[in-house]
Homo-oligomer: A and B are copies of this chain.
């Protein structure tokens, strides 16, 4: 039996070796970062080192970073009570707090009317479509774009952004908000006054250490062009699929997209069914975002782009990373094409029968 092939990096990326090393080292640091003794100061140093690593990778100042338990918490901190406008292509942790009144075009691009009153993602996790962030944008979900795309917070014109460690090779359950200086946010976690009073609670020292190391490594990969190689690999996958299924609908093809994702649909062949068939064949892929993956319903993202319910229920997402091997990806392509042919034969037979 072949080994499993993981092609669901946008749901969560494997833990980077650099993150693992940093986390192991942090396990030996016993203190509470708020304690003033040597053990406390050592734990504080781990947190502040990671803050500098993330700030440098993001193009921001360390003082602008607020560590959180992930993007969902960061989104709530950035958005709750503000009634910003957004589009339905945003992640549910954003639409939970926004007025989803903005339209996405058929190309997935969102027309922002009032940037200072809007939230707009850097890139979409399902389709990979990249947005042009307007100057003065209030909030941007950087989760899927950070580490895969050149991005500098300082020159982005964005007031508040947020990231999630496990999307760039850090651990799950830790993330960060980055904000321009001078912005005041109402703290939602109150108590000990950590994170300059913006987010109380003893810091996730081990997780934060992993986040920092992963951010630095992700930035290095980006600077070294590794994501260009990933994009080339993704393009070869799409070419092979199109060779076999010429009328395959690849969402966002030809647009600016994340380098590592392809989202395609065979109308009527449910995404969930494909996920299960591919899982049995040894491949981990997804039908939409992971959070929604237990729920069998059309992708809100694809619906917002004007796709009909049947097509929006039939999308498959394949997302890869720098560790993905071409041979594994092409084995996936072959398995999917075979399943597609089997289905076409059955459907054809049924239609003929």
Whether a CB of chain B sits under 8 angstroms from the CB of A40 is yes
Contacting pair B206 A172 (CB below 8 A): yes
Q: Which of B27, B69, B286 contacts A201 (CB 8 A)?
A: B69
Query: 15 other contacts beyond A32-B172, A172-B202, with CB at 8 A cut-off?
Result: A12-B31, A23-B206, A31-B284, A35-B293, A37-B278, A37-B279, A38-B279, A72-B190, A72-B200, A93-B191, A93-B200, A96-B191, A171-B207, A173-B202, A192-B289
Indicate if A222 sits at the interface (CB-CB under 8 A): no
> Nearest Cβ distance between residue A339 and chain B, in whole angstroms?
15
Determine if A306 is an interface residue (Cβ-Cβ < 8 Å): no
| Binary B-proximity of A163-202 (CB < 8 A = 1, otherwise 0) | 0101000011110000000000000111111100000111
Instruction: Tell me the bound Cα distance from A27 to B164 in angstroms.
Output: 17
A residues neighboring B (CB under 8 Å): 4, 6, 8, 11-12, 14-15, 20, 23-24, 27, 30-32, 34-40, 43, 68-73, 75-76, 91-94, 96-97, 164, 166, 171-174, 188-194, 200-208, 272, 275-276, 278-279, 284-286, 289-294
Contact A34 B291 (CB under 8 A): yes
When the two chains form their complex, are residues B207 and A34 in contact, meaning their CB atoms are under 8 A apart? no
What 4 A-B pairs are tightest by C-beta distance, nearest first?
A: A173-B204, A192-B291, A93-B191, A69-B69
Query: When A30-B14, A201-B71 are in contact, do A191 and B291 touch as well, CB less than 8 Å?
Result: yes
**Residues of chain B with a CB closer than 8 A to A193's CB:** 92, 291
| Cα of A289 to Cα of B8 in the assembled complex, Å | 43
Contacting residues, chain B, for A204 (C-beta < 8 A): 69-70, 171-174, 204, 207
Q: Which of B92, B171, B294 meets A206, CB within 8 Å?
A: B171
A192 to B207, CA, bound (A): 21
In the complex, the answer to whether A202 meets B31 with C-beta atoms within 8 Å is no
Q: Does the CB pair B14–A72 fall under 8 Å?
A: no
CA distance in complex: A1, B106 (Å): 70
Q: How far is the CB of A217 from chain B (nearest CB, A)?
A: 15
Q: Are B290 and A34 in contact (CB under 8 A)?
A: yes
CB distance from A11 to the nearest CB of B (A): 4
Pick from B68, B71, B76: contact of A188, CB below 8 A.
B76
